[in-house]
Amino acid sequence: MSLLEAYSNYLKVEKCDSVHTQRAYLQTVSCWLLHLEQTEANYDHDDLSLTAISNFLSDRAEQGQSRASLARAIAALKHFFHYLQERHSQRTSQLMGIEVPKVYRSMPRVLSLNEMEGLLESINANDFSSVRDRAILELFYSTGMRVSEMANLKPQDLDLPQMQLKVKGKGKKERLVFLGQAALAALQAYLNLRPALLIAGVESLFLNRRGGALTTRGIFNLVQARALAQDLHEITPHTFRHTFATHLLDHGADLRFVQTLLGHENLSTTQIYTKVSLGRMTEVYREAHPRARFKNSMS
């Protein structure tokens, strides 16, 4: 078994990383190993210097890769070097010291309450696609789940009497999320129609119009189509996740509570939503504080 194959098994079996993460890490590591074969004669990871990885990153930069792409490449290589240390007793501590370039994150797109309500209420037909799409959008807004988590839902994950459901997130970690009344009603309406289309053997909660499992791409497409119908542009399933978190914080939810619902390991990941909510916080302050606004003293 090659080193790359062994690392692939490690990601899949032991780390339980998502398919997307596995693909990204393996692509970077494959390019790294190829680079070493072409530039470093008889290389040994124990003897590599920072110059080797700097040359690798310089080549990628010259190919037009962005700062964000380089940051992701460094993260993938650090993960690989950690694997070499852990499983192959190789000394890669010098390579572990390389710094990740600063990436300036743009603020996520967030729908206003009126935009969100308008989008949800616009889906009011009784055909299968409309009922299903309404349930999916209500569920996104009610739970803040990721599109991959939505695609992987199964009927047994639902606990409708308790108005909650079980979500399997990154690294196959499970968490509970909650259903609001609107999401519960939309989901029950969908469940009433689901058996008529279901193909035997399909376990997914959400189905396409042929009765098969609805994929992440299918969910992405229906979200965009429903949003564009309301003249809302650049809307993705992740927009609902951003909006879910921001609206909770706007209405007084604790940051750590939101962190738990989103399934974030680190609080710093959740803190971006405090920046998004700053405008709302400023508005509340101006309205609520007795001396926050200038008074007209002119007579």
Q: Among 1.10.150.130, 3.30.390.30, 2.60.120.10, 3.40.50.300, what is the CATH number of 3-96?
A: 1.10.150.130
Place 297 in a pLDDT band, splitting at 50, 70 and 90. very low
The pLDDT tens digits of the residues spanning 217-261 come to 999 999 999 999 999 998 999 999 999 998 998 888 888 888 888
Reduced to 3 states (helix: H, G, I; strand: E, B; else coil), residue 207 is strand
Q: What residue spans define the domains of the chain?
A: 3-96, 113-284
Is the predicted pLDDT of residue 262 greater than 50, yes or no?
yes
CB-count exposure of residue 107 (10 Å: 0-12, 13-18, 19+): exposed
- Whole-number mean pLDDT of the chain? 83
Structure confidence at residue 90 (pLDDT): 64
Structure confidence at residue 170 (pLDDT): 74
- Mean pLDDT along residues 271-279: 66
Q: Which residues of 184-215 are buried (b: 16+ CB within 10 A; e: fewer)?
A: bebbebbeebbeeeeeeeeebbbbbeeeeebe
Query: What residue type is assigned to position 208 of the chain?
Result: N
How far is the C-alpha of 190 from the C-alpha of 193, rounded, in Å?
5
Architecture of 113-284 per CATH? Orthogonal Bundle (1.10)
Q: Shortest CA distance to 115 belongs to which of 226, 190, 221, 219?
A: 226
Is the predicted pLDDT of residue 39 greater than 90, yes or no?
no
Active site residues: 146, 170, 238, 241, 264, 273
The pLDDT tens digits of the residues spanning 177-213 come to 999 999 999 999 999 999 999 998 999 999 999 999 9
- Mean pLDDT along residues 35-42: 78
How far is the C-alpha of 222 from the C-alpha of 238, rounded, in Å?
13
- Mean pLDDT along residues 18-34: 86
- Mean pLDDT along residues 275-294: 62
Structure confidence at residue 298 (pLDDT): 42
